[in-house]
Homo-oligomer: A and B are copies of this chain.
Amino acid sequence: MTRGSPYAPHTEAETAAMLDAVGAADEESLFDIPEDVRFDGEFGLEERSERDATTLLSSTLAKNKKLTEFLGRGHHSHYVPSLVNDLSRRSEFLTSYTQYQPEITQGFLQVLFEYQSMLVELTGLPVANCSMYDAATALAEAARLSNRVRQASGHRILVPEILHDGKRSVLDNYVAGTDLTVETYPMDDGNVDVDALSDLADDEVSMVYAENPTVRGTIEERLTEIGELADEVDALFCLGTDIVALGLLQEPASVGADVVVGEAGALGMPNAYGMGLGLFATREEFLRQVPGRLVGASEDAGGKRAYTLTLQTREQHIRKERATSNICTNQAWVALRTAMHVAYLGPDGLVDLAKQCVTDAESLAAELSELRGVRAPVHDRHHFREFVVHTDQPAKAIASDLESEGFAVHVVSEHKLQVCVSDLNAPKVDQLVAAFEEVL
């Protein structure tokens, strides 16, 4: 094995000639680092051949147990067509960077423009950025947006009492440097307790956040009321959702959503240990307060349509501490994969997939309810992909036993599990039901 980087092309002769050209005796003399902070180069890290490095990684990863996962709660995936993997891996996409020179990066810009357009269609809102890190940071950025755009002095952010821990914690951190405070409102059988929310809403509210579907998989029935309620107190209505749900559930704009956030990585990505793609869409009037990058259509000197990053004066590299966000490197390549997946599905495919998320969950819940000591869904609501299950026996023990049988489900509380079904695990629901029966 050569000692050195396999990705630095220099032959010895070339290195010597280049050192000569710059008048340096050796490479070390190019480093202007005082002796007292010089490091000897010994990290104690082994170098390996490509094959050995590959083997190391694959044998480490093989320690993950092979499980059929019925897990969701904010991180979802569906079958990713081969085309998405194949085309997204093309080096022109994968190894490019932010489109600072649009004249030679029209390809990626157009993909991002198309991604934005897909979100505009799905949310009904006219402005979608070309990616945030994930649903949690998108929600947190929405809260900060509400702080920037409100004329009113509102500082209260109202969120559901049942909310994914990660989202809540990220939100807390993102508002820590502002005068915003986060408060919860109660839930009623899985969904927003609209009356309670109404009681909490006042002019001090900057933003009301609700989810559809909720983290427990229930589908909200009173979104329009929530939207009106927020509107009445001049608060933003921020709706959390995911890209598949958008294909079937009420269009966010139609229920008065001012901002839509959520996970777009549910399409385009396999299960990614939580790696996501934050979707972010909003109304035209907030355009110049939007965090993240925006791609716009324009013309080139020849009068041809061309795409470019636009409204960059919102961004940190120009506006520094007065930027709308600190985000720079984003999730563009995930957005590209998601756009490809949406395009692959087409409107019929997307709608079908979303319908399946409703029907598969419904039928699995019904099947589980047939078992002694099991009741599902716990909430008397419609569900999307997932639902909560009551178990007479301790939920933790059941989940642990199911794990030994090769299935993973969520433990929600002492006697509650949560089960998520999608096209990926749907072929194994019968086996899951059988395993439940086995372990009960």
Q: Is A29 an interface residue (CB 8 A)?
A: no
Taking CB atoms, residues of chain B closer than 8 Å to A82 are: 50, 54
A10 to chain B, nearest CB (A): 14
Q: Which of A70-106 contact B (CB under 8 A)?
A: 79, 81-82, 86, 89-91
Does the CB pair B81–A50 fall under 8 Å? yes
A319 to B434, CA, bound (A): 67
Interface-central residue, A50, A51, A54, A82, by most chain B CB under 10 Å? A51
Partner among B50, B79, B86 whose Cβ is within 8 Å of the Cβ of A51: B79
A81 to B54, CA, bound (A): 10
Main secondary structure of the interface of A (DSSP, over half): helix
Taking CB atoms, residues of chain B closer than 8 Å to A51 are: 79, 423
Q: Count residues on chain A whose CB falls below 8 Å from chain B CBs.
A: 11
A50 to B86, CA, bound (A): 14
Q: How many of these chains are in the complex?
A: 2
Taking CB atoms, residues of chain B closer than 8 Å to A81 are: 50
Nearest B-chain residue to A50, judged by Cβ: B81
Partner among B50, B54, B86 whose Cβ is within 8 Å of the Cβ of A89: B86
A355 to chain B, nearest CB (A): 14
A423 to B50, CA, bound (A): 13
A107 to chain B, nearest CB (A): 14
A82 to B50, CA, bound (A): 8
Nearest B-chain residue to A51, judged by Cβ: B79
Nearest B-chain residue to A52, judged by Cβ: B427
A86 to B82, CA, bound (A): 14
A420-438 CB contact bits vs B (8 Å, 1 = yes)?
A: 0001000000000000000
A43 to chain B, nearest CB (A): 24
Q: Which of A185-232 contact B (CB under 8 A)?
A: none
Taking CB atoms, residues of chain B closer than 8 Å to A86 are: 89, 91
Partner among B50, B54, B90, B423 whose Cβ is within 8 Å of the Cβ of A90: B90
Taking CB atoms, residues of chain B closer than 8 Å to A79 are: 50-51
Nearest B-chain residue to A349, judged by Cβ: B2
A36 to chain B, nearest CB (A): 40
Query: 9 A-B Cβ contacts within 8 A?
Result: A50-B79, A50-B81, A50-B82, A51-B79, A51-B423, A54-B82, A86-B89, A86-B91, A90-B90
Which 6 residue pairs are nearest across A and B when measured between Cβ atoms? A51-B79, A50-B81, A50-B82, A90-B90, A86-B89, A54-B82
Extra pairs beyond A50-B79, A51-B423, A86-B91 (6, CB < 8 Å): A50-B81, A50-B82, A51-B79, A54-B82, A86-B89, A90-B90
